Amino acid sequence: MSTIDELNDMRTKALTEIAAAGDGASLETVRVAYLGKKGELTAILRGLGSLSAQERPIVGKTSNEVRQELEAALDGRRRDLEHVELEAKVSADAVDVTLPGRGRVPGREHLIEMITRQVVEVFIGLGYRIVEGPQVELDYYNFTALNHPPAHPARAATDTFYVRDLEAGDARTTGESDVLLRTHTSPVQVRVMENEEPPIYVLAPGKVFRRDIADPSHLPQFTQVEGLVVDEGITFGDLKGTLDYFCKEMFGHDRKTRFRPHFFPFTEPSAEVDVSCGICGGDGCRFCKYTGWLEILGCGMVDPNVFGYVDIDTERFSGFAFGMGVERIAALKYNIPDLRMLVEGDMRFLRQF
């Protein structure tokens, strides 16, 4: 077979193989087989020197034509394959924009936060300022300066979480220490009066802790809002008017309030405030234990002994204080039968509010 015939056969074979190459790698194999260093066409081009003077220019010219033709065919096929690959990738990655999206439930304010905010808003409207105090508190602020005698039952380790001072090597596990988790927000009263001169109109929301077992009406950690007013000429009438207004704002204007005499070490006189039952309207039902009333807060006139601890002149100033449980108010407002539902984090329950 002449070299020209050989070249023509090779061209046909190579073009067929190029057209048949299904991906970039097999196309490269074809290229190497013909145009690579040891390729068939390369071998012919290398052998040009040994051909006769007549044959050499013809074979040389034809070889170059074949090389150019194969290179063009390779380029063309490479572009086709790239296109096919791109198409495949695009359709594999395709997003069906007509599919409906997955719904996401937006976050929301927890009921405890919501009630706290509502209480705060009522008193902000009356000109009160918001203040805060530490949750880990000193016995002095939680009890002593609030006029609790040394043997007051609330001080017992069975009622109060005491914090052990490990650095001081205090190994007591049951006995009292000077550091505790505050059992109410009333210590904030002392901290404010220690640092500020009257007139004082403040509200102190925050977490409190008591060694109670969780049950329908108790939680070991709950939320209180404390109020304190100290000014010239403050009377029990101001306290009653303020809390009556608060209850109507909070529970609705059809609700009545009543003040029952009570005792707190740090207020004198003291009272507990009840709001008329929203379920029976005051006639008596299971929710209000057939009394027609629901207890919502404790209050009273600041005891002169407390003013003594913070050096406020009792000749010139008087004041009142009150404290309420946020979880309890939430329960009364929405007829929630068990306070534990407020802290269990069950969205089916929480989403209702």
Contacts with ligand PHE, residue ranges (CB under 6 A): 184, 186, 226, 264, 267, 270, 298-300, 321-323
We find the least distance from the C-beta atom of residue 265 to ligand PHE, in angstroms, to be 9
Backbone φ and ψ for 276, nearest 5 degrees, come out as -65, 145
142 contacts: CB under 8 Å, gap ≥ 6: 160, 180, 182, 183, 184, 186, 187
Q: Which helix (H) or strand (E) holds 272?
A: strand 267-276
Taking the C-alpha atoms of residue 37 and residue 24, their distance in angstroms, rounded to an integer, is 19
Which CB sits closer to ligand PHE, 249 or 268? 268
We find the least distance from the C-beta atom of residue 161 to ligand PHE, in angstroms, to be 15
Which CB sits closer to ligand PHE, 77 or 184? 184
We find the least distance from the C-beta atom of residue 179 to ligand PHE, in angstroms, to be 19
Backbone φ and ψ for 189, nearest 5 degrees, come out as -50, -50
We find the least distance from the C-beta atom of residue 352 to ligand PHE, in angstroms, to be 28
Which CB sits closer to ligand PHE, 39 or 319? 319
We find the least distance from the C-beta atom of residue 287 to ligand PHE, in angstroms, to be 22
Which CB sits closer to ligand PHE, 36 or 265? 265
We find the least distance from the C-beta atom of residue 227 to ligand PHE, in angstroms, to be 7
Which CB sits closer to ligand PHE, 44 or 297? 297
We find the least distance from the C-beta atom of residue 249 to ligand PHE, in angstroms, to be 19
We find the least distance from the C-beta atom of residue 266 to ligand PHE, in angstroms, to be 6
Which CB sits closer to ligand PHE, 11 or 182? 182
The terminus-to-terminus CA distance of the chain in angstroms comes to: 95
Helix residue ranges per DSSP H, the chain: 3-20, 24-35, 40-46, 55-92, 111-125, 139-142, 187-195, 236-251, 304-309, 326-334, 347-350
Backbone φ and ψ for 266, nearest 5 degrees, come out as -105, 0
We find the least distance from the C-beta atom of residue 96 to ligand PHE, in angstroms, to be 59
Which CB sits closer to ligand PHE, 10 or 299? 299
Nearest residue to ligand PHE, by Cβ distance, number only: 323
Which CB sits closer to ligand PHE, 73 or 115? 115
| Helical packing angle, 111-125 and 236-251, nearest 10° | 130
| Nearest Cα residue to 239 out of 178, 152, 300 | 300
Cis-peptide, bond into residue 269, ω within 30° of zero: yes
- The answer to whether the beta carbons of residues 270 and 253 sit under 8 Å apart is no
Backbone φ and ψ for 179, nearest 5 degrees, come out as -115, 135
Dihedral of alpha carbons 255, 259, 263, 264, sign: positive
Chain CA centroid to CA 175, Å = 36
Which CB sits closer to ligand PHE, 49 or 261? 261
